């Protein structure tokens, strides 16, 4: 027998006669306005201790969302109030104590949402149904903690949102397709959480105090939701190393406080999101290795760009056009004069006042030809990476205006003409990679100026002439210049011809030493000559006298 009267605005109490139906298999009275205390409305238990006449029937009971009250009597087993059930839906029944369901071996669905349950969620609840419990909804209660060791076993649906749970965020059930953990958890996501989310279709940890980065094991897929709200207070969006698709949602423009956007290594397919220029507080923008395409001509416009930007990485293989010279002039954070006041050494971080925790951001940059993960980004660290694209034309002279630039990577493009002399102006330049382009002409002498140089790669261009020398230039190996047949001088095994000025070949200290040695040789020669003349005079003078 199937008995269902839901959402019909029924009022009054549940008649006891319903509970006496011997062939009743489904009782669904949810979403009505039924009142009363459920314990009083059911018949007295029979001799075998059961209210219902047959324990083999009524696999489904749904009394949710009424105005009923169910009081748990610890002296009366819950199995005596209800027979063996496969589905028990008791949401919004004013429960103040958690009924002991552990003994009910056939229970597969349990809904106790919107009650008045509090305290600890006990371990035994995961053992309900002898491990066959598949659906568990404990949301909208006042639970404060999970009893440990926590083991949710084989749940397919777990909803504990809108409780007061705190501490370490639990690993979700490994077979669950729906997990909602919106509470007051304040830990970082477990590194292996992605291994537990393979079948998941919905996973939410919103409204928590989650810190740290999204673990690599997550492998997030699908589109980035376009639901960033007005007044969004997001400061960091780090979704790199996933399989996200689609476009960068325009609603992200509402997050005016955002400082870090990292969407690298996904499958995003979009033009350059020019509207990001409106986010004036951005310090780090990483869009590398997606399917972004087109030109970045919008960055040449006179509208305000990013005065605080210190790291930009758009290595993507599909951008083209010329490098926007005016864009580099607007990066005020990279134009701090090294002779001016030095900034305090600090890291980019997000301060969570509620938990007194600092989350220090990290980013991956290419240094010395290798991808390196910077776990703590110094606020004075700066990097520009436009590599692996199809940019053409010249390297703008405006590069030299970025006095505090640390890393510059324009490798693997189609840039041509000469290397600008202004390339030596950023005195803090540590890494310069212009390899695999069409650059030609002689290397400017100014390239030897930076005193912090630790990596240089100019390989596979069309450069000619003598390699400039300097204190840092001597530390680079032949690999920095390979593929430029017209280059000569140290460290290449190719001697420059006499037309090249020798002063450009050797370090100044070597030339000064050579000059001193030449001067000493001259003095010795003069002294020897004078000595010879004096000696000759001593011999010839008596002979002439005779």
SS3 per residue for 338-366: CCCCCCCCCECEEEECCCCEEEECCEEEE
User: The tokens 């037309």 sit on which residue?
Assistant: 499
Give the CATH number of the domain where residue 448 resides: 3.80.10.10
**pLDDT at residue 46, as a whole number:** 43
For residue 534, is it within any domain? no
For residue 106, is it within any domain? no
67 HSE (CA, 13 A, CB side): 9
Cβ 254 vs Cβ 233: under 8 Å? no
Instruction: Determine the Cα–Cα distance for residues 263 and 269; give it in Å rounded to an integer.
Output: 12
For residue 273, is it within any domain? yes
Q: How many CB atoms lie within 10 A of CB 241?
A: 19
Q: What are phi and psi of 450, to 5 degrees?
A: -55, 130
Q: Helical H runs in 279-426?
A: 325-329
Between the CA of residue 546 and those of 104, 117, 535, 537, what are the distances in Å?
144, 137, 18, 14
For residue 542, what is the DSSP state? H
For residue 272, is it within any domain? yes
Q: Which residues fall within 8 angstroms of residue 215, CB to CB, at 6 or more apart? A: 189, 190, 191, 192, 193, 194
Please work out, in degrees rounded to the nearest 5, the angle formed at the alpha carbon of residue 155 by the alpha carbons of 113 and 82.
55
Instruction: Determine the Cα–Cα distance for residues 196 and 154; give it in Å rounded to an integer.
Output: 11
Please work out, in degrees rounded to the nearest 5, the angle formed at the alpha carbon of residue 102 by the alpha carbons of 97 and 105.
140
CA nearest to 505, candidates 528, 487, 523: 487
Please work out, in degrees rounded to the nearest 5, the angle formed at the alpha carbon of residue 45 by the alpha carbons of 40 and 50.
120
Buried b (16+ CB within 10 A) or exposed e, 168-203: ebbbbbeebebbbbbbebbbbbbeebbebbeebeeb
Q: Which residues fall within 8 angstroms of residue 217, CB to CB, at 6 or more apart? A: 191, 192, 193, 194, 195
For residue 454, is it within any domain? yes
Q: What is the mean pLDDT of each run of 10 residues along the chain (546 residues)?
A: 52 61 61 58 42 46 64 55 63 80 76 90 84 86 90 85 91 88 89 83 82 76 87 83 90 90 91 91 90 90 77 90 90 72 46 35 56 54 91 94 91 96 89 96 92 90 93 88 94 78 38 41 39 40 38
Between the CA of residue 333 and those of 3, 238, 329, 345, 379, what are the distances in Å?
70, 22, 10, 15, 10
Q: Which residues fall within 8 angstroms of residue 17, CB to CB, at 6 or more apart? A: none
Cβ 331 vs Cβ 309: under 8 Å? yes
- Is the Cα torsion angle 94, 99, 104, 109 positive or negative in sign? positive
The domain tally of the chain equals: 1
For residue 10, is it within any domain? no
Q: Which residues fall within 8 angstroms of residue 208, CB to CB, at 6 or more apart? A: 169, 181, 182, 183, 184, 185, 186
CA nearest to 382, candidates 338, 439, 317, 321: 338
Q: Helical H runs in 164-217?
A: none
**pLDDT at residue 435, as a whole number:** 96
For residue 81, is it within any domain? no
Instruction: Determine the Cα–Cα distance for residues 5 and 280; give it in Å rounded to an integer.
Output: 57
Rg of the chain over all Cα atoms, to the nearest angstrom: 38
CA nearest to 257, candidates 351, 374, 373: 351
Could you tell me what percentage of the chain is helix, strand and coil, using 3-state DSSP and rounding each to the nearest 5? 20, 25, 55
Coil vs helix vs strand at 326? helix
Q: Is 399 exposed, middle or buried (0-12, 13-18, 19+ CB in 10 A)?
A: buried
Q: Is 77 exposed, middle or buried (0-12, 13-18, 19+ CB in 10 A)?
A: middle
**pLDDT at residue 50, as a whole number:** 37
Instruction: Determine the Cα–Cα distance for residues 314 and 7; give it in Å rounded to an integer.
Output: 55
Coil vs helix vs strand at 221? strand
Range of the domain at 460: 260-506
For residue 258, what is the DSSP state? -
Residue count of the chain? 546
CA nearest to 458, candidates 489, 428, 479, 488: 479
For residue 69, is it within any domain? no
Instruction: Determine the Cα–Cα distance for residues 311 and 213; give it in Å rounded to an integer.
Output: 18
Instruction: Determine the Cα–Cα distance for residues 122 and 143; give it in Å rounded to an integer.
Output: 10
């Amino acid at each position: 027998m199937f008995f269902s009267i839901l959402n019909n605005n029924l009022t009054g109490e549940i008649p006891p006669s319903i509970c006496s139906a011997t062939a009743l298999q489904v009782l669904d009275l949810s979403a009505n306005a039924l009142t009363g205390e459920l314990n009083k409305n059911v018949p007295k238990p029979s001799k075998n201790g059961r209210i219902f006449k047959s324990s083999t029937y009524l696999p489904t009971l749904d009394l949710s969302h009424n105005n009923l009250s169910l009081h748990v009597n610890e002296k009366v087993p819950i199995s005596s109030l209800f027979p063996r059930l496969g589905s028990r839906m008791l949401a919004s029944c004013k429960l103040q104590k958690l009924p002991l369901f552990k003994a009910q071996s056939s229970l597969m669905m349990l809904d106790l949402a919107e009650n008045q349950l509090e305290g600890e969620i006990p371990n035994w609840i995961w053992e309900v149904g002898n491990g066959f419990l598949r659906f568990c909804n404990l949301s909208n209660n006042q639970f404060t903690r999970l009893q440990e060791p926590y083991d949710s076993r084989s749940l397919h649906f777990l909803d504990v949102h809108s409780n007061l749970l705190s501490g370490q965020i639990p690993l979700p059930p490994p077979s669950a397709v729906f997990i909602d953990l919106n509470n007051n958890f304040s830990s970082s996501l477990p590194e292996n959480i992605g291994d537990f989310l393979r079948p998941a279709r919905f996973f939410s940890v919103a409204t928590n105090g989650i810190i740290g980065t999204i673990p690599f094991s997550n492998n997030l897929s699908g589109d980035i939701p376009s639901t960033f709200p007005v007044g969004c207070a997001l400061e960091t969006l780090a979704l790199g190393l996933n399989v996200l698709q689609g476009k960068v949602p325009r609603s992200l423009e509402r997050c005016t406080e955002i400082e870090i956007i990292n969407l690298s290594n996904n499958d995003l397919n979009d033009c350059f999101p020019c509207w990001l220029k409106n986010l004036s507080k951005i310090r780090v923008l990483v869009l590398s290795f997606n399917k972004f395409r087109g030109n970045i001509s919008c960055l040449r416009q006179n509208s305000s760009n990013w005065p605080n930007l210190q790291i930009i990485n758009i290595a993507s293989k599909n951008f083209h056009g010329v490098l926007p010279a005016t864009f580099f002039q607007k990066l005020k954070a990279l134009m701090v004069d090294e002779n001016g006041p030095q900034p305090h050494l600090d890291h980019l971080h997000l301060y969570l006042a509620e938990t007194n925790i600092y989350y220090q951001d990290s980013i991956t940059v290419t240094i010395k030809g290798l991808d390196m993960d910077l776990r703590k980004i110094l606020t004075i660290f700066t990097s520009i990476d436009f590599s692996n694209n199809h940019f053409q034309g010249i390297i703008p002279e405006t590069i030299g205006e970025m006095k505090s630039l640390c890393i510059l990577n324009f490798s693997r493009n189609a840039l041509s003409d000469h290397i600008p002399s202004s390339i030596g102006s950023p005195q803090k330049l540590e890494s310069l990679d212009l390899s695999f382009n069409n650059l030609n002409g002689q290397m400017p002498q100014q390239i030897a100026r930076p005193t912090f140089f630790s990596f240089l790669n100019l390989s596979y261009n069309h450069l000619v002439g003598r390699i400039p020398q300097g204190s840092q230039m001597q530390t680079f190996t032949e690999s920095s210049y390979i593929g430029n047949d017209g280059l000569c001088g140290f460290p290449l095994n190719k001697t420059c011809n006499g037309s090249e000025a020798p002063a450009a070949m050797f370090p100044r200290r070597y030339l000064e030493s050579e000059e001193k040695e030449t001067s000493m040789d001259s003095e010795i020669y003069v002294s020897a000559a004078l000595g010879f003349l004096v000696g000759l005079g001593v011999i010839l003078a008596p002979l002439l006298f005779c």
